[in-house]
Structure 1
């Protein structure tokens, strides 16, 4: 299970996790009481967001209205919880929707909390984390499959560590829209949809088979529905390949989706059941499975435990950043020097920035310092651009799409002439803080250009709106003339970001 510090073992905390899936929206509310997590409430609504994607890739008005009404109800249930106790994420449909940003603005207002859109790999990691927390702490290597509305996540792992993961573009809603939108069923359509899924699995098949597993576990509404049909049909909830073959044959012989009603299937799952059935049948065939058990735990539970980890200073994002920095041989000592100086600048100006808690923003400064030089493994020339590309396009565990974009922004513009036009692409929230963080980060990098530990000692930063005052004694400036020249050059760069850098000398006797 998740290792909790003594802080949690003597504390009671209520928290919530929300999953804005392509088929259903889910919310789980739980209480962490002295290290034990107890579920207080589970709410699920079949919003069918994926059905609302129009031909141009935008969410239509009807699907948005259903989603916002659902989120408003969710918001009423958790209105008493602080932002730090809620984690809400969007998955494949919100990754694809061309009007996702505009919808999320309204969605966050309805819910009353921030909503992060996560990448497919991060979705897979969280799913595995949730399933693993619900299993006995055993040494078996397990395959975990989650069939969502827009994608299917496939993961192999041991205990709480995923070893291989993929997010495949096939889901129960996506298949229904692509192959059965009219509601008609036929052997030909079922075969065509199966081939489509097998084509998605084929490129990753050998990678998964080479890792291997001893136990196959499925989660999500589709797999749980198939497990219930299995129990009603055979007396056992275990899903077998023979059962899937039989159900797919029955689906091919049925005239329509409405006519296909296997024993044990609930009416709420029927509209997308065939899609999920075909996906799972293809997974069995593609990966050579004979049987699978269903787990009641999935993405929502993974979100809860990930949230607990963040609050307990066991943030998986920090581990992911450290791993990436090591992979590209970044200088850890230099990163620590730059991070400490940049964080000091931020902490000294919390009041000027109007921040109640600088910790989340300190994280970005530290992560940026750790990853700013990963591009050196490619080339020294314009290495900050190589670093930004790596950070932007890699799978960073724990990061939402927006968080990864913030980190990329800081790294891409941390040296040389900054792109002032990039500020226009920031959200209103980010535009209020990220340019200042960038200025602090750039100054910290300049101060440690010599890659020594003493360069920033005796110097402080004061912020007054767009005025930055880097203050040191006259003796400090005299001893660091080269650094002063670098800072004078930096002042010209910062001016393009809207800041005026001043380098005043204070009397050595001043406090």
Structure 2
């Protein structure tokens, strides 16, 4: 039996998250002198806050190394470069407790590519994180030091609660606020983060600087697709083995003290699920009947939960070679997709609902948005001083408020 889940209950809110969307840059003004005024506004914005920088976000997980490079837009950001490679950093970690030499070499090779892209794009603000594999490995810190020496990248090994918050930040625009609550789940390579959100509170607090906005509770399960697959097998999985995988995940989920309250919200139709991971995007691609994976079609789509679960069970019955032949799976995902399907099935059993929303976004997008928000708070002193002077002048010209009752 794997170790128990990490758990935290959030009782106060600290920082805001915003979400980027695709779309062209446009004037928000009243139309008077719009062309020259808009250009002037853009020039001013380009000299301060987020507009002065190019950003990069690296997510080194248990299975993949991913990079996004982006420039800000008024409604979010525009991706100018991206990279993803399967590195299997957590391969054998459950058995040995350490990152293997081969796994570290694969990750370093991918990180060298990331560093080269960052230099080429003139990136001025970077965040690079490592998650469960480095959290659990006895040599995780030594590996981070090695990465810094060989690539110049400073990896932060982030705790599970920060990983959960970044996932929320990256996916928040896909939450449906016609519901009262939602569960976001991120099936990773070495862990699975599950976050329970009060959408009514998120709407009330939308203008607050609030780090845990709307988060009621979260749980981090100590396994993902890699270590669960290594535990039960990666090739031809019997129906009995698949059910054993589901039961193992379900047992840990039932230890989540908020699970019962969540179940009642789903049963009454007041909550929805939002999934972000290679597992759910792969299943969505098959659900949509795509000849090859296409992110714009997958990201944000609503899928029938019954049909997604049926696809997951069909994949579990396939041979390894049959899974490889699926156009939305391929060789790299064929080893682990069944383990991901087992985790998803356990989540669906705990919190049944009719539809699942799919997110092809998450930690990297959350990192980019928070980097940009931080840059906004670090505007050059000359702009901050000018703003204070304008505020002081405005206050001096305004009549004092009447304090009488």
| TM value normalised by structure 2 | 0.69
| Residue 132 of structure 2 corresponds to residue 116 of structure 1 | no
- 2:195 matched residue in structure 1: 155
Give the C-alpha shift of residue 281 in structure 1.
1.1
Q: Is the 8 A contact 1:257 1:274 kept in 2?
A: no
Give the C-alpha shift of residue 257 in structure 1.
2.4
Query: Matched residues in 1 for 2:276 and 2:61: separation?
Result: 14
Query: Matched residues in 1 for 2:350 and 2:118: separation?
Result: 42
The C-alpha deviation readout for 1:115-159, integer Å capped at 9, x for no partner, is 101111110110011001456887753321111111111112234
Quick one: which of 101, 122, 144 aligns to 1:104?
144
| Residue 74 of structure 2 corresponds to residue 11 of structure 1 | no
Quick one: which of 232, 243, 254 aligns to 1:191?
243
SS in 2 for 1:65: helix
Q: Is the 8 A contact 1:9 1:35 kept in 2?
A: no
| Residue 287 of structure 2 corresponds to residue 287 of structure 1 | no
| Residue 272 of structure 2 corresponds to residue 215 of structure 1 | yes
How many residue pairs end up in the alignment?
311
| Residue 234 of structure 2 corresponds to residue 171 of structure 1 | no
| Residue 306 of structure 2 corresponds to residue 306 of structure 1 | no
The C-alpha deviation readout for 1:290-328, integer Å capped at 9, x for no partner, is 3202112211100111212222339xxxxxxxxxxxxxx
- 2:233 matched residue in structure 1: 180
Q: Which has the higher contact order (CA 8 A, sep 6+)?
A: 2
SS in 1 for 2:95: coil
Q: Is the 8 A contact 1:126 1:302 kept in 2?
A: yes
Give the C-alpha shift of residue 264 in structure 1.
4.5
- 2:68 matched residue in structure 1: 28
- 1:2 matched residue in structure 2: 18
Q: Is the 8 A contact 2:62 2:132 kept in 1?
A: yes
- 1:146 matched residue in structure 2: 186
1:137/1:215 CA distance change after superposition, 3 Å: closer
SS in 2 for 1:193: helix
The C-alpha deviation readout for 1:359-406, integer Å capped at 9, x for no partner, is xxxxxxxxxxxxxxxxxxxxxxxxxxxxxxxxxxxxxxxxxxxxxxxx
Query: Matched residues in 1 for 2:308 and 2:92: separation?
Result: 29
Query: Matched residues in 1 for 2:373 and 2:49: separation?
Result: 13
1:361-372 correspondence runs (5 A)? none
- 2:383 matched residue in structure 1: none
1:335-354 correspondence runs (5 A)? none
Q: Is the 8 A contact 2:186 2:194 kept in 1?
A: yes
1:80-479 correspondence runs (5 A)? 85-133=125-173, 141-157=181-197, 158=199, 159=202, 161-181=214-234, 183-204=235-256, 205-209=259-263, 213-232=270-289, 238-254=302-318, 256-260=319-323, 263-267=326-330, 268-313=332-377
| Residue 103 of structure 2 corresponds to residue 47 of structure 1 | no
Cα root mean square deviation, aligned: 3.1
1:82/1:102 CA distance change after superposition, 3 Å: farther
Q: Is the 8 A contact 1:10 1:34 kept in 2?
A: no
Give the C-alpha shift of residue 13 in structure 1.
1.8
Query: Matched residues in 2 for 1:145 and 1:11: separation?
Result: 32
The C-alpha deviation readout for 1:418-463, integer Å capped at 9, x for no partner, is xxxxxxxxxxxxxxxxxxxxxxxxxxxxxxxxxxxxxxxxxxxxxx
SS in 2 for 1:50: coil
- 1:78 matched residue in structure 2: 118
Q: Which runs of 5+ in 1 are unaligned?
A: 315-511
Query: Matched residues in 2 for 1:117 and 1:166: separation?
Result: 18
Q: Is the 8 A contact 2:56 2:69 kept in 1?
A: yes
Q: Is the 8 A contact 1:89 1:115 kept in 2?
A: yes
More helix, by proportion: 1
Structure exhibiting the larger radius of gyration computed from Cα positions: 1
